[in-house]
Amino acid sequence: MLTPRQNLLETIKGGKPDRFVKQYEAFMPLTGAPTQAPKPSIGGEIVNGWGVTTRWPEGQIGAFPVHDDAHIVLKDITEWKNIVHCPNLDYPDKAWAEIQAKAAAIDRNEEFVTAFVAPGLFEQVHYLMSMEGALIAFYEEPEAMHELIDFIADYEIRLADVLIDKIHPDAMFHHDDWGSQISTFLSPKMFAEFFVEPYKRVYKHWKENGVELIVHHSDSFAATLIPAMIEIGIDIWQGVMTTNNTPELVKKYGGQITFMGDINSGVVDFPGWTKEIIDEHVERACKTNGKLYFIPGTSQGGANSSFPGVYEATDEAIDRMSKKMF
């Protein structure tokens, strides 16, 4: 029986996997680095190293930046050099002890030691500016926007150097949502203009320094950006939603990129979830996408669920499909 790591590599390289990859079983993104801003508690808020205020309102399933007039960090993109400052990356060795212990406990024959980076280049821009402010700036001040994105990419490369030095990762898991469920936030042309080259620099740097896999999370529609994903070096697109017609994407792009997801979290991860609902969606995903270049799982960007038991029940359903199809 292949290890989870071996089985994942067989799946994404068109080899002979002996079962479906079960969501995140081959890599657990390591959190807890001192460079990573903590999440606010439910009902609370934090201000991160970029100066962005993030709140987790009661009754909501996640946190998001606050963009009222009093909290937007960057209101005028042309002033970014005077306003935007990178977070600190210089921490004492003892601050790394927890995450280094997590990395050391991972059997690298079984799993990928996986660095976790969030938010990504696009999200960092709208975290600083608000979504509306950022999208307007792409049109009205493209030169300043290019400069800001390059500045953030330079920071990410320095962050990569620190994480590579401290935990020696085999894979990198990167959060950057690029669309809604039905469309991308930027057209493919505009995405290529602003993000392809910066992302190529960032992901190339990771791979040139020993990181084998780039896993990019965007739980959204992003089918029209797949050529760009391939160009910038993404190995696995995690979070692919059913609105992308994943089976057709596997047929068209399998061998160049692997698709992870095709089970929308919103339809299985809710207060009234049942094993029968999960079984239905897992079976559909496995049967329609096949055994290669596809990893079944919920679209959520981590090895967890919003409501207790959903992630584990999804794992169990994938196990049952492996017994049926392998």
Check residue 218 and give its pLDDT.
Answer: 98
CA distance 14 to 24: 19
Check residue 320 and give its pLDDT.
Answer: 98
Residues in the chain: 326
The pLDDT of 62-81, averaged and rounded, is 96
Q: Is the pLDDT of residue 59 over 90?
A: no
pTM score above 0.75: yes
The pLDDT of 47-54, averaged and rounded, is 96
Check residue 28 and give its pLDDT.
Answer: 80
Q: What is the pLDDT of residues 258-278, one digit of tens each?
A: 999 999 999 999 999 999 999
Q: Is the pLDDT of residue 138 over 90?
A: yes
Q: Is the pLDDT of residue 37 over 90?
A: no
> Could you give the domains of the chain?
4-325 (3.20.20.210)
CA torsion sign for 166, 32, 234, 282 is: positive
pLDDT bin (cut points 50, 70, 90) of residue 33 is very high
The identity of residue 202, as a single letter, is: V
Q: What is the pLDDT of residues 180-205, one digit of tens each?
A: 999 999 999 999 999 999 999 999 99
Q: How many CB atoms lie within 10 A of CB 109?
A: 9
- Mean pLDDT of all residues belonging to the chain: 97
The identity of residue 29, as a single letter, is: P
pLDDT bin (cut points 50, 70, 90) of residue 38 is confident
Q: What is the pLDDT of residues 89-122, one digit of tens each?
A: 999 999 999 999 999 999 999 999 999 999 999 9
Check residue 118 and give its pLDDT.
Answer: 95
Check residue 39 and give its pLDDT.
Answer: 87
